[in-house]
A = this chain, B = another copy of it.
Amino acid sequence: VFAARGTSDHAALYAAYLTEIRLGIPAGLASPSAITVYGARPDLANALVVGVSQSGGSPDLTEVLRAARESGALTIAVTNNTDSALNRVAELAVDVRAGHERAVAATKTYTAELLALLLLIEAVRGVGRLPDDTLAELDAVPKLAADLIADPTAAQLAPRYRFANQLVTTGRGYGYPTAREAALKLMETSYLAALAFSGADLLHGPLAMADDQVPVLAIVGSGPGGRAMHEVISRLANGRADVVTVGSGEIPHTAGRIAVPPVDERLAALLDILPIQQLALSLAVERGLDPDAPRGLEKVTATL
């Protein structure tokens, strides 16, 4: 069971997919309000409960971990601040070691959380040590990430959305958390009404609102999740939607593409989000906004 809010909730969603796919252990996201608002005490005696939070300061997550631990769960805090309330309540800790997060709209702590959760889950798979194949695949990631950050494609795309009121993001499997985080980043920094859907859920209703006036940002890797997006994009094309893809997957006849180097799809989440963060930054600047100071937000959000 993963418990998180906001950006960290998307890292937690990624971790839930990884847990089911790589470990064959059922995984899901906690609904904190069942515990914090209604006083539910689900019996989590056989569960590992992982709280994920940049600051470790959200009182609702602390309360979820406290209730879980009381019911017999093993608890872990995955934070960027080991001196946090979440760390004090959890038995075990993973420090994501991202250094001080200066942005209100979290960026480097998101990728650091993804990596920390990936390492944790792969180490469970390797019974206490990281499997060699994972280590070899991860070795390539820092250089690929640096190259991506130097690539101007995403920033150059920002003027295209200067006057967009809304935007749809979509992905499947490992690409779905990226779609969710993309929508949040664009909402936080550019005040765009960005709607995130899993590719499958998009076909169950929201597809109706995607017309040629609603831009679509689709996460399309070259693995199973990316391949499952091909039908979704062909349905969107029937509605003459304006689709830009992000990822290593190639789909002909889209309005644009932010190419990301191919890696195993479970690692793609670490890379795909980088140009999207750059797009959010450039779009905010294009709109005359300060992406480091979103209105109404603070770095530590206290919800109960």
Contacts and interface: CB of A to CB of B under 8 A. Distances in A.
Interface of A: 1, 5-7, 9, 16-17, 20-21, 24-35, 37-44, 46-47, 60, 105, 165-166, 172-173, 176, 184, 187-189, 191-195, 198-201, 203-211, 214, 224-225, 228, 235, 238-239, 294-297, 301, 303-304
Contact of A207 (B27, B205, B297): B297
A165 to B, nearest CB: 5
15 contacts: A1-B28, A25-B42, A26-B42, A27-B42, A32-B200, A33-B176, A33-B228, A37-B225, A184-B205, A187-B206, A188-B206, A188-B208, A191-B211, A199-B303, A203-B301
Contact of A1 (B26, B184, B195, B224): B26
A26 B43 contact: yes
A172 B39 CA distance: 14
Contact of A33 (B203, B209, B225): B225
A123 to B, nearest CB: 19
Contacts of A20: 31, 34-35, 40, 42
Contacts of A294: 205, 208
B44 A200 contact: no
Most chain B CB atoms below 10 A, which of A47, A60, A191: A191
Most chain B CB atoms below 10 A, which of A25, A29, A37, A41: A37
A108 to B, nearest CB: 16
Given A192-B209, A208-B297, A238-B296, 18 more contacts: A1-B26, A6-B201, A16-B31, A20-B35, A20-B40, A25-B42, A26-B43, A27-B42, A33-B173, A37-B225, A105-B205, A187-B209, A188-B208, A193-B214, A194-B195, A195-B195, A200-B303, A208-B294
Nearest to A186: B209
Given A26-B43, A28-B28, A207-B296, A33 B200 contact: yes
B205 A193 contact: no
Contacts of A211: 191, 295
Contacts of A304: 200, 228
B224 A38 contact: yes
